[in-house]
Structure 1
Amino acid sequence: MRNTAWKITVLIIVVLLLRCSASAQELSGWIDITGNISKDLEDGEMTSETDTFNRNLYLSFQHSITSMLISRINLRTNLADADRTDSNGETTTTYRRSLEPALDLIFSNSMYNLSAGYRRQEEWATAHLDNNSRQSTVFYYTRFNVTPDALPTIDIQIEEQRDFDYLSVHNVDSTDTSYSIRSAYELPSRDVTLRYTANYSYSISKTPLSVTNKSVNDNFDSNYTTGYSGNFRDNKVNYSVIYKGNYSRNKNRQFVTQTGSVLNERTPLSGLYAKSTNPVKKDVDVLSSEVRLIDDDAGTSAGIDLSAAGTFHNMGVMVSSVRSVDRLFIYVNKDISTETVLNNISNWSVYKSNFNQAGTWSQVTLKSVSISVYDAVNNVYRYEIEFSASRNASFFKAINLQASNVPGVFATEIEAYGTDVPDDNVLATVTTIFTQGLNFNAEVRPQAKLAFLLYYSLDRTDQNPVSLANSIGGIIGNIFSDSVSAPPDEDFTSSITRNYGASSTWLIHRFLDTTFRIQRNEAFDNKGETDVSSNTYNLSFNSAPLPTLDANLSFIRSDSFSFNEKSSINNSLLLSVGAKLYRDVNMVTDIGYTKSKSIANNTTSSSRQINGTIDAVLTRKVSGTATYGFSWNLSDGSSSRSREGSAIITYRPGRFINITGNLRAYDSAGDVTVSEGILIDWLPLRAVRLNMNYQHSNSEPGPVKTDTAGGYAIWYLTKFADIRFTYSYTQRKEDEKTESYRFNTKLNCRF
């Protein structure tokens, strides 16, 4: 890196000098200087090289004018230089200079808080500060909140942000103004549950340079929960009743400057995620909430590694089913311009559903998969998955059927888009969603060794409901009925899910207890498109005959129905044994067998699996963990087998050094991967920390060999300053040899 050495040296001196002058009361801040060199090669020939140098300064001065009035002045600066060289030897230099002053005034006491602030960011894309590359962002805000004791809270916000440049013909010109009020309350009671949150927001977005030159959004959202819990007969009978709901109404008007179709994002209601490691069944029936996939942060990883072999990620989004969807965008924080796997339509699957439950997903036919750049400066790219035709549904999920050939690709965001045709240059949409839930639980303990549990839950989601009274009356009627009383309306959809059952627990002997559980799940809608149900029976035995031995045996049967016709039968047997083999030596073994029959497809499948874990403290300095797993899958006309095992050994020769070695082998249907590695973490001096690691893997068929080496060193210069050096090297050999080098230097000072 050009002149990096002397720059780092000078900055260290400056930082140390700043320690003396930064000790003034109420002044704080930090300085961060980072240099990074990265180089990629293919068969010994350089394909790209990047040299970046970043300097960041943050200063904050806070002063208490009175006991209730505080002023705060902040200043942020950033200077970034980057040289990027391509395979032809051509170098492109980019610059970023930014200055961001801010002023905040805060007036508060124990009950209320009033704050107002101003921020202005000036940014240049050239080394010299001229108006041709200048872009400004101006932000104002006013916030007022009241938090009285035992009364509802109120929060009022007014914000405005304007982005603009200084060119004679503008490239950037937008203004966003928003007003919002929020209230929340929770009743302080042990038996009675009562709480709510209500939020109303009104926003105006003006973008005169885009096709949609103005957007007006009017949104109301509320959540409430009410219920009661109690007991009688000396706590032998406990019960609870809960009713909860969420009502949201969104009205959006978009003013466009051209006729024809316009591509618009569908408002995300929830982000969803689940993963599968089963190559036979890569899709997961029920996805869990994952807020990070819809948090409008395309640069931060959601922890979903699309480069991990043998892992199939189910990434989903919930939207209103009224507006159709014809494509999904999946964002990643990695340059995937060299992607050759996940840019293939055959390596993705997309499903839609109105319930996010087993038996309700149907596959969507795809038209194309492409890659585009979203933010080149921050290396944010996206996979664009387009459908062959638009689809209406509440839930969409995309599944990668193969791992990316680019290492370190992590998903950050998922978006659903659809094509609209505005009328009279105005596209107006109103979306109303009313979700309700009823829960009833009762537990009876006639004897100390015997307990019975009854439970019932009902969830109903109405999109564009006829009225609140109709929906509230409807959920009461759906306790016992499947009918949905509403006039015919193409925009009105209602999805109902019911779960109810009973269980009993009996302590037969002090070494043996048994649990029997029966449950029914139902899901249907008012359109007649979905009507699925299942009956599940579970008999479990749990025994702990010794203080060092615990075992659980379960028999499970599940019958699934579609439109009252039996569609599948599933029988499972699960055995789990936990044992303490010796002092500081523990073992857990899980054995499972499942047999399934699909009546609709006239197919039968079965699976067997054994998984185990052994962890032990071998000596005072040595500990280890070993895991193993075997699985066999058999279906009509096909079979598969997988085996895996791993071992991790940790050696601690002293208080300040750890040495960890790992070995893993995985075999799935003839695809074999073996990897081994070592990690050393050492604190040779109080002010110095060293870390080194190496990992090697070999995959067949191919073969594909990967070697990764890296490490870092941290020198704590003072209590408030440290410098970090990080290095990594990756080599991959397949049909061709690729290499990548990364070296990073970072200086940080806090005062």
Structure 2
Amino acid sequence: MLVFTLGSLKGVYAEDDIHGMARLTYRSSETETETEGKESSWLFSQVYNLMLSKALTPKVEFTANVDANVIDSDEEKTTFLSPDLRLYVRNEYFDANTGYELTERGLDILTASPDGERYTTKSWNANLFTKSEKYPTVRLLYNEDRDHDHLDVHRTDNKTTDFFGNAEYAYRFLRFSYDYRNNIFDDYVTGSTQKTDTNYGRADFRKSFWENRVTSSGSYFLTKRRVETTTSGKDRVPETKQAYAGLYAEDPLDPCDVRLESRESLIDGDKITSTGIDIGGGSTNLNQNIGVDLNFATEVEQVKLYTTPPEFGFSENDFTWAVYSSNDNLTWTPITNAAGFDYDTNEDLFEISFTCASARYFKVVNTNNNLKPLYVTEIEAIGFTTAGTTDYTFEGIQAYLGAKPVDWLSFTYNFTQDKQDTDPGSDQTRTTNDVSGRVERELHRYLGTWAQYRRRWVEDSEVEDTTTDTYLLHFLSSPLETLDTDLSFTHTVLKEESETQSKSSSVLFQVVAWLLEGAELDIDATIIHSEDLKVESKTISRLIDANLRLELTPMLTAEIEYDRAWTETKKPDGDTTRRPWFGQVILYWRPSHEFYLRASYEIDKHDKGDKTFRQQYNLSWLMTEKIEFNTACTLERNDKTRFIFSPNLSWDLSRMLTLRFLYDWSRYEEDTVTEMQTFMIDLSARF
């Protein structure tokens, strides 16, 4: 019946532009432990999609998209129904669109569903974008969302209205922009309303002189934000703090001493798309440091971590979270090692709560997790406010001047100043000056060098003023066509109020050598000596990272990696030594376009001396034009043993139909032995 229906609609596709998809999945799992015996579960999922796209005129288009999803399992039955209607208008002057989307969860199409299971989201939006190179461009966006359950006494019932307007204009080397945003959040459960008005103006310039030997740029921005909060029967309501950067570090050696790197996708407002940060996956994927930069010290007592929808078998109870704060994104202070949290299955987010703390940086760390993968999409820092009006003023200035009087000499100066005025509250100011000079010379046709001095001083109203002096000396040499070498020296001195706080010196040596045809060797060796005068500690770190890639035959390639670190720290309360190392061998074999095999063996020695041995095998075989077989196998041993075997078969029955068989078997040996096996059949159709 399914094939007949899809086949009959296929002829409509070319004329009316109708297309769709149907997918049926059955999954059965069985878990056996020595203490609890056997437990089994099952899930049957039905996913249907139908989309209509109709060009009413050459410049007007209408689309309708309907998604229906029914998930039936041994524990519960859940349904999703989501129609989406949109109208597009496009011409040479502007692009505009408007649409309405309704998402119903727990609404059974055939039988009445208890109101306790229903959750409704309604969304209406309209967008307008002008297109002009001569006149200012304008963007207007309006969005209205309504979320509510169907309980007699609501747990969730709110409405969000958001209007955004933007105008930009560029004239020669100048650029001007203005943003206005009005956001109103009504929480009908608590009887509170929060209205936020934000005005943002910015001016930028960029100009070069003297045949680009002198470059200059600068910007000025001013943001005024007013938050009006009214409550009814509740003293405090949550307020999302403005984030300036998302931060991330993967499993650092010491979560209290690490600099997190910027990850802008964590604060881009997209709560659906994965940032690539997996916080699930079991004990081999712990200590993911996910944070946020608030620019100035801010009171926060909750972090919201949005995720992708969890997989079947996910349990939030397996997670534990630690929370840290920092004022410099380097030294982190623990707030709690076991924060209280809830996981909202309607919005797919962790709400991690802790004692109120004031800092510029906050981060959460997963110290335990679930075996199922789970990816982060967004992070928010939450504070709580009372009824009343709060005015925020943010002002920033940035100026840059660069000069290169001769080819081998250059100077730069960078000035930034950020101000934040909170009423009621306090004023905060941070001023940064950054000066550098650089000399580049070619000492020999095989040897080049450059030297640089940089001074950065920061005046901050909330913390001690700091000065950082950095000296760099770098040599580059290519004595052979098959050999490149780099050698660099760095020395850094950090002072607070003219008193030296820390010193650091490092040497980095890099080699890239093409030994033979098809053989490439990369070696990085680093020595770092650092001294912290505050706590009277000294640390010496020696790191080596070597990679060898060999093309053994046209079909067989090998990679060998070896990483080793020696870290010795001396403190008044005792000395510590760390000597972790990692070794890995990978083989890639592709005898034909239809067959591919990857095999790897690795040893990972941890700080505490224990070792993890890991073997991984991945095979892909295109058996015929329509049948493909894939399998993955992992064996991991340390104080625990983990074995995972996952074969799957994909069969293209026709141009519209695809059938997949998947099997997953795993065994975990720790204090007890746990065996899990999952079998899945997936039938999907497209037309």
User: What's the TM-score once normalised by structure 2's chain length?
Assistant: 0.90
Match of 2:406 in 1: 445
Match of 1:523 in 2: 458
Shift of 1:122: 4.6
Matched, 1:642 2:580: yes
Matched, 1:98 2:81: yes
Structure 2 Cα separation of the partners of residues 502 and 47 of structure 1: 70
Matched, 1:283 2:251: no
Shift of 1:539: 1.1
Matched, 1:555 2:489: yes
Q: Deviations over 1:510-546 (max 9, x none)?
A: 100111111112222124x232221111111111000
What is the identity, as a one-letter code, of the residue corresponding to 2:576?
Answer: S
Q: Deviations over 1:533-560 (max 9, x none)?
A: 2111111111100000111111211111
Match of 2:70 in 1: 80
SS of corresponding position for 2:16:
coil
SS of corresponding position for 1:513:
strand
Change (3 A) 1:391 1:565: same
Structure 2 Cα separation of the partners of residues 230 and 171 of structure 1: 63
Contact 2:278 2:373 in 1 (8 A): no
What is the identity, as a one-letter code, of the residue corresponding to 2:549?
Answer: D
Match of 2:627 in 1: 688
Match of 1:152 in 2: 136
SS of corresponding position for 1:24:
helix
Q: Deviations over 1:242-297 (max 9, x none)?
A: 112443332222221114344444343432223354x2576323531332356362
Structure 2 Cα separation of the partners of residues 549 and 63 of structure 1: 60
Structure 2 Cα separation of the partners of residues 139 and 723 of structure 1: 35
Change (3 A) 1:281 1:59: closer
Contact 1:322 1:491 in 2 (8 A): no
Match of 1:4 in 2: none
Shift of 1:412: 4.2
Contact 1:283 1:314 in 2 (8 A): no
Q: How many residues align structurally?
A: 675
Listed as ranges, the gaps of 5+ residues in structure 2 are none
Q: Following superposition of structure 1 onto structure 2, how do residues 210-221 of structure 1 map, counting pairs within 5 Å?
A: 210-221=189-200
Structure 2 Cα separation of the partners of residues 169 and 386 of structure 1: 28
Contact 1:568 1:596 in 2 (8 A): yes
Match of 2:59 in 1: 68
Structure 2 Cα separation of the partners of residues 119 and 332 of structure 1: 21
SS of corresponding position for 1:15:
helix
Shift of 1:617: 0.8
Structure 1 Cα separation of the partners of residues 349 and 37 of structure 2: 22
Match of 2:24 in 1: 33
| Correspondent of 1:542 among 473, 476, 486 | 476
Structure 2 Cα separation of the partners of residues 22 and 68 of structure 1: 21
Contact 1:34 1:747 in 2 (8 A): yes
Q: Following superposition of structure 1 onto structure 2, how do residues 179-328 of structure 1 map, counting pairs within 5 Å?
A: 179-187=163-171, 192=173, 194-208=174-188, 210-232=189-211, 238-275=213-250, 277=252, 279=253, 283-292=257-266, 295=269, 297=271, 300=274, 302-305=276-279, 307=282, 309=284, 312-319=287-294, 321=296, 323-328=298-303
Structure 1 Cα separation of the partners of residues 223 and 427 of structure 2: 15
What is the identity, as a one-letter code, of the residue corresponding to 2:620?
Answer: D
Shift of 1:631: 1.2
What is the identity, as a one-letter code, of the residue corresponding to 2:195?
Answer: V
Please identify, of 137-146 and 126-135, the stretch whose mean Cα deviation from structure 2 is larger.
Answer: 126-135
| Correspondent of 1:455 among 407, 412, 437 | 412
What is the identity, as a one-letter code, of the residue corresponding to 2:125?
Answer: Y
SS of corresponding position for 1:658:
strand
Change (3 A) 1:75 1:630: closer
SS of corresponding position for 2:258:
coil
Structure 2 Cα separation of the partners of residues 367 and 626 of structure 1: 38
SS of corresponding position for 1:535:
strand
Change (3 A) 1:414 1:97: closer
Structure 1 Cα separation of the partners of residues 251 and 151 of structure 2: 51
Match of 1:3 in 2: none
Matched, 1:363 2:301: no
Contact 2:291 2:364 in 1 (8 A): yes
Q: Deviations over 1:70-109 (max 9, x none)?
A: 333x14131313324xxxxxxx322315252x43333321
SS of corresponding position for 2:318:
coil
Structure 1 Cα separation of the partners of residues 102 and 119 of structure 2: 11
User: CA RMSD of the aligned region, Å?
Assistant: 3.0
Change (3 A) 1:29 1:139: same
User: What's the TM-score once normalised by structure 1's chain length?
Assistant: 0.82
Structure 2 Cα separation of the partners of residues 731 and 381 of structure 1: 29
Shift of 1:311: 6.7
Change (3 A) 1:222 1:270: farther
Q: Following superposition of structure 1 onto structure 2, how do residues 309-708 of structure 1 map, counting pairs within 5 Å?
A: 309=284, 312-319=287-294, 321=296, 323-330=298-305, 335-339=314-318, 342=320, 348=322, 350-353=324-327, 356=329, 361=331, 363-366=333-336, 368-375=338-345, 380=348, 382=350, 384-387=352-355, 390-399=356-365, 402=367, 404=369, 406=371, 408-420=373-385, 422=386, 426-446=387-407, 451-464=408-421, 491-527=426-462, 529-636=463-570, 637-669=575-607, 670-699=609-638, 703-708=639-644
Structure 2 Cα separation of the partners of residues 594 and 564 of structure 1: 24
What is the identity, as a one-letter code, of the residue corresponding to 1:587?
Answer: L
SS of corresponding position for 1:392:
strand
Contact 1:498 1:522 in 2 (8 A): yes
Q: Deviations over 1:611-664 (max 9, x none)?
A: 100011110110011110111111111211112110110111222101111011
Listed as ranges, the gaps of 5+ residues in structure 1 are 1-9, 85-91, 467-488
Contact 1:434 1:465 in 2 (8 A): no
